[in-house]
Amino acid sequence: MFDHLFTTDRMRAILSDSARIQGMLDFEAALARAEARAGMMSEEIAETIAAHCHADRFAVAPLAEATVTAGNPAIPLIAALTERVAADDAEAARYVHWGATSQDAMDTGLVLQLRDALDALEADLTRLADACARLAERTANLTMAGRTWLQQALPITFGVKAAGWLSAVNRHRERLRQMRPRVLTVQLGGAVGTLAAFGSNGLVVAEALADDLGLALPDVPWHAHRDRLVEVATTLGALVGTLGKMARDISLLAQTEVGEAFEPAEPGKGASSTMPQKRNPVGAAVALAAAVRVPGLVATMLAAMPQEHERGLGGWQAEWETLPEIVRLAAGALWQMAEVAEGLELDAARMRANLDITKGVICAEAVAMALVPMLGKTTAHQVVEDACRQALARDVTLRAALVDIPQVTEILSADTLDRLCDPRNATGLADQLIQRALARRVE
């Protein structure tokens, strides 16, 4: 019931039981072809084996039931594949899974799934990056309150907020690309990772297998060294954290009392079962839910790393559902935030009204910095702090309070005070920062 909300249809297909079975079968077919290239079997036998390596010919339920006894799904799958091949060619059946171990099939099959998953994630990361870039450009001059500790602090532009999102998303795009050569690596080691069953042909078969599947060949098999898969988990954990940060920003701006930004509207989206007026931030909720769930799953992957000797007991098994769940949640959160960013609605008038709530006090830093050359930092800060206190106590603007302070009017002219007390003039280098983020786009 919840898969449609928390992940995408594409990722559900990539990480489905059928796709997991197909990944293992792709390994078995490629292994047979690789062994044929090494002269360990005829090409006809390899093609006979490969011809039966189609997931739609294997029912999931019996394999799942047999996994309870076997301990992993590769064992009953290989048995079923061998039986099918034997019905076609008894001689070919002798060569099914020759020299490999069940973990070789499972790990390589998972890597094939991860390759498709990374392609899907990169596509949606590009969507999100493009949407953030458009937001940054479109709202470069849209002044709003910058907030620290949930309180108004100094003026910023929405453009620089979007540029911050863009910069983070670009870093995640770089991380995903940088880890691909390390992660997309074939697994073939045999029982204890020495390729012993292949005799002198071990590396020849491994190279041919990697070439057939379009994967990298590792220095040594990695059965008990799980850093590759943990890198996927931690990288996606960081991505989900960034998506959660974006979702937190947008949901806080969408609060009724703030009302500055809203998720795109569509019929029925974010509706309440009882309150007709509600417009709940559904996309943000999905991303924040993922940001709550994924860290614990990443911790499980990290905890599973110290695996025993040449093949692990328990740690490897702990990965089987954990890593796909991380990928599914990351995909769902990413898709939701791309949708939100592409259609984000902004209320410029409300942003300006909220800036005026503090009657100009939000510009206090700019005034203080202008006084520093004549009064020194400590005195300037104290003078402006007193003016802010008076403005709030008297319910007047900061500018009105400042003109009653001789230390200020002796240094700053009326025109200067007007300029310093206009939030639009207090956004610092926002424009330059936006341009820097846009210039560093990952293509």
Which residues form the catalytic set? 272, 311
**Are 276 and 367 a contacting pair, CB within 8 Å?**
no
CA distance 33 to 150: 61
CA distance 382 to 403: 16
Length of the chain: 443
In this structure, what token pair is assigned to residue 105? 């099939």
